[in-house]
Amino acid sequence: MSNHFDVIIIGAGASGLYCALTAGRRGRRVLVLDHANKVGKKILMSGGGRCNFTNYFVESEHFIGANEHFCKSALSRYPSWEFIAMVEQHKIAYHEREHGQLFCDDSAQDIVTMLLDECSAAGVQVKLNTQVDQVKTPNSDHRQDVSKRFQLLTSKKLSKKELHDTAAQSKTSQTNYSCESLVVATGGLSIPTMGASGLGYELAQQFGHQLLTTDASLVPFTFTDRTGEILRALSGISLPVVASNTRTAFKLPLLFTHRGLSGPAMLQLSNYWQTGEMIEINLLPDIDITALLLAHKKSHPKQLVRTVLAENTDNQLPKKLLVALQTMLWEEVKETELANIKDERLQEIGSAINGWQLKPSGTEGYRTAEVTRGGVNTDEISSKTMQSNLQDGLYFIGEVLDVTGWLGGYNFQWAWASGFVCGEVV
């Protein structure tokens, strides 16, 4: 029966394609369905078009999720060098950037082409522009026929033009598929224009799974109050900082944007941030500013705070930023000589620069977030196979699960690893 498959995977993204090629190599008859008009859209846009496809140093500490142990088994069974070996076999040139991050030399398209070539060599079929309208388990009472555990009703996804064309709409036929194993690889909610949808979460709920609150993550912070105005004026400035909150700290570059704060330091911190919380930024992590100001009060009592900072911080504070900090942090003593500023006030200024306290009003949200944190509760999923504990033959892989990686190739490594361990058993 042509519409019957051993394995149907919903989602032709990173985890879905990796799972497909792994299962296909085992001789399984695999179909991948996607409602988008192209496979791997997020791979194509990742890493500024060069795809940060993995990292040399992958540990469970680089991932967050309610169950911090869940990711360990898959990551240890599919280490990053396995993916690197495939990249090398396909003669894709790549390079290492700071913190072990690996990027393609040329284009993220190389990774998509590699995955599609491997899928095609393994006999995997991929069907795009396909909407999954319904998933049923008609055989749940007849356990002897596990090969047709799931029945899917799909329809052609209409293009924007077709949506306004009633003739095209009436021609849209529905197709039924059946399969033994159903893999949900629909990713998260970020960048809806790239095909993100909530289908994976809906299917999880249909089969009784618990969802953990989802939120945009690896995402810039926004500010609406007066701080927002000041930050906007600094747009384009970048400097290395330590960004922290009560749970974590990252020493990485910060970027001021016309919407607020971005750059690797902020994206990483966003994984650990909840709405309403403060963040702290050490703008000069290698210099104790309080000690510097107090020492200069003794040695150069006639100097101003801004002069000390401009002359003794190795040009680490761009002039525009220094002026903005002055407006925010020591406006009332900006023209006062150090000798006439109390030690306590200098301490406050030093602490503010080494620990600038800010309260973001929010984040840029799913529109620009790299990932979705939260998702399908991993307590109800086997960490060895990604199979549901509630429904035989149902699997969840990739970002739809409550596993979120740091910036640096970790989210793709999770997609490959979870796709691999699932592809080995479906």
Instruction: Summarize as ranges the residues that interact with ligand FDA (CB under 6 A).
Output: 10-16, 33-36, 41-42, 45-47, 51-52, 132, 185-187, 190-191, 195-197, 199, 370-371, 398-400, 409-412, 415
Q: How far is the CB of 68 from ligand FDA (least distance, A)?
A: 18
Residue 42 — φ and ψ, nearest 5°? -75, -30
Q: How far is the CB of 358 from ligand FDA (least distance, A)?
A: 24
Sequential DSSP letters for 128-159? -SEEEEEEE-GGGG-TT-GGG-EEEEEEEPPP
The answer to whether the beta carbons of residues 210 and 380 sit under 8 Å apart is: yes
Sequential DSSP letters for 338-390? GGGS-HHHHHHHHHHHHSEEE---EE-GGGT-SEEEEEE-GGGB-TTT-BBSS
Q: How far is the CB of 126 from ligand FDA (least distance, A)?
A: 10
Taking the least distance from each CB to ligand FDA, the nearer of 45 and 358 is: 45
Residue with tokens 């039924």: 176
* Measured CA angle at 134 (ends 128, 138), to 5 deg: 125
Taking the least distance from each CB to ligand FDA, the nearer of 12 and 289 is: 12
Taking the least distance from each CB to ligand FDA, the nearer of 350 and 374 is: 374
Q: How far is the CB of 305 from ligand FDA (least distance, A)?
A: 40
From the CB of residue 345, how many other CB atoms can be counted at a distance below 10 Å?
Answer: 16
Taking the least distance from each CB to ligand FDA, the nearer of 218 and 293 is: 218
From the CB of residue 156, how many other CB atoms can be counted at a distance below 10 Å?
Answer: 19
Q: How far is the CB of 25 from ligand FDA (least distance, A)?
A: 18
The answer to whether the beta carbons of residues 415 and 13 sit under 8 Å apart is: yes
Q: How far is the CB of 166 from ligand FDA (least distance, A)?
A: 24
Ramachandran category for residue 33: left, alpha or beta (phi over 0 → left; psi -120 to 50 → alpha): beta
Residue with tokens 């490959």: 416
Residue with tokens 């023209």: 335
Taking the least distance from each CB to ligand FDA, the nearer of 255 and 308 is: 255
Q: How far is the CB of 124 from ligand FDA (least distance, A)?
A: 14
Taking the least distance from each CB to ligand FDA, the nearer of 199 and 346 is: 199
307-314: long-range contacts at Cβ-Cβ below 8 A with a sequence spacing of 24 or more?
308/338, 309/353, 312/287, 313/284, 313/287
For residue 239, the cross-strand partners are: 254
Taking the least distance from each CB to ligand FDA, the nearer of 395 and 412 is: 412
Q: How far is the CB of 28 from ligand FDA (least distance, A)?
A: 19
Taking the least distance from each CB to ligand FDA, the nearer of 13 and 264 is: 13
Taking the least distance from each CB to ligand FDA, the nearer of 185 and 289 is: 185
Q: How far is the CB of 281 from ligand FDA (least distance, A)?
A: 24
Q: How far is the CB of 369 from ligand FDA (least distance, A)?
A: 7
The answer to whether the beta carbons of residues 19 and 185 sit under 8 Å apart is: yes
Pull the structure tokens for residue 344: 């306590």
Taking the least distance from each CB to ligand FDA, the nearer of 18 and 330 is: 18
Residue 141 — φ and ψ, nearest 5°? -90, -10
Residue nearest to ligand FDA according to CB distances in the complex = 13
The burial of 197, by beta-carbon neighbours within 10 Å (0-12 exposed, 13-18 middle, 19 or more buried), is given as middle
